Chain A
Amino acid sequence: MTVHTDTFIDVGHYQVHKAGQRVGGDVFIFQRHEDSERVVAVLSDGLGSGIKASVLATLTSTMASRFVTSYRDIKSTANIIMQTLPVCKERKISFSTFTIVDIEKDGTARIIEYGNPATIFFQADTIGPLKKEQVPVESAHTHERHVSSGSCVLACGDRLIMFSDGVTQAGMGRADTPLGWGQAAAERFITACIKTQPTISARDLAKEIVSEAQRIDGNHARDDITCGVIYFRRPRATLLISGPPINPERDAVLAGRVEAFGGECIICGGTTANIIARELDRPIEVDLTCIDPHVPPPSRMPGVTLVTEGILTLCKVSELLQHGIVPEEYTDNAAGRVLAKLLNSDHIHFLIGTKINDVHQDPTMPVEIEIRRNIIKKIKQVLEEKHIKKIELEYI
């Protein structure tokens, strides 16, 4: 039996709305259960587009996620959904497609599909077998319908990819894709993507797929285009060090942690970086190509992913996190780079020196500077609650 002691379920999605619609009729949601580290993801496509479709899809995905999370059986989940949805006045039917993926920490996945293009199971860069059976469900309004129920076991490096029909039907009616892009062509595209970028993140792969579908649609989406990716992989670990140790005798311990760490390492603090550079005998070079009036420039040190100034940069990172600003929407400065690294990590270990820099507490300083420990606590809270990161906080 394979032992999955060190794996992470990376879930990401990307979406574009039908051109001219401000609200999408496709909904992708996922829930991660901290205790069991189980993930339930749902993609739903509501009938039509705009607000009405959005309501149908939101209802469907929320119900599906709740029921599946509580281990309610598939048939009754599907029955309840179909009987609860409001009936469309024009079409006289209630309708919303769904794909539900329920994946355990050990990689065991259950997949339930109704009306969406088939979910694809990638074993590394090759499409793997997905056992499926048709389960009949009742519907209050029409004849008997079937949902498809499948299962598979993901190993490290495997993925499950689901999308709405906006992907497979992209380009429909155009000379080179009269029947739309199609499942087979989409599968070939995804295979090529994974072969060229074997460790591409869930969100980036979803974005590649949606962008390609949009391109095939002549950059004018004729339906909502949504893709969700679940990537079962090794966790990306980051060590963020900030602040000198309270006792200088621990400087060597701090530097040793940088050397011993296997993942990415970020140092926020000039004095901290100087200590580590001195202890490990490494050079530091300030990168003056990245100048910002509010955030001091980053620096480079061999063996360290990123070196920045401390308090101002961390205050800015905290502010960006509080306001939900993503790195793509922000300027390229040291705070933006720290934010990007944190958001790209699964496990983040904060190693915080508790020495307080008296000069920063001087009330004549023209900006408000918080105590390091308080900023880190704020950053930790947002990363845990909004971004579902696993955080450890250690003081030195």
Chain B
Amino acid sequence: MSQKIIIRICTGTTCYVLGGAQLLALEDELPADVRERVSIEGALCFQLCKAREPLRAPFARVNATLISEATVPKIIAEIQRQL
């Protein structure tokens, strides 16, 4: 069996108020077959909000791939790309 895809969601202040709070419900949005192949973790501030443009909060990582202005569909698309 292949290794699980690790999704890390930044729970820092900026990410949280810019939409990160909704990302924590990601697990409920995943199709059942995808859900069992990923592991969702929260993370303390990635410190990326200070990097300014062109990257914008909220941030998430799907394995090593960084997603800025992350939304549930963007994360799901990246998971499906990696599967």
Residues of A within 8 A of B (CB): 270-271, 273-274, 284, 286-288, 291-294, 296-297, 299, 309-312, 357-360, 365-367, 369
Contact = CB atoms under 8 A, between A and B. Distances in A.
Q: Which 3 A-B pairs have the closest CB atoms?
A: A286-B42, A270-B45, A270-B44
Contacts of B25: 291
Q: Which of A270, A287, A310 has the most CB of B within 10 A?
A: A270
Given A293-B21, A296-B11, A309-B13, A358 B42 contact: no
B42 A270 contact: no
Given A270-B45, A291-B24, A286 B11 contact: yes
A359 B21 contact: no
Contacts of A287: 42
Given A274-B45, A284-B44, A358-B50, A311 B24 contact: no
Contact of A367 (B11, B17, B44, B45): B17
A270 B13 contact: yes
B16 A312 contact: yes
Contacts of A367: 17
A286 B43 CA distance: 6
Contacts, number: 66
Interface of B: 11-14, 16-18, 20-22, 24-25, 40-45, 47, 49-50
A193 to B, nearest CB: 39
B40 A296 contact: no
Contact of A288 (B12, B22, B42): B42
Given A297-B42, A309-B11, 4 more contacts: A287-B42, A296-B12, A296-B20, A359-B50
B44 A273 contact: yes
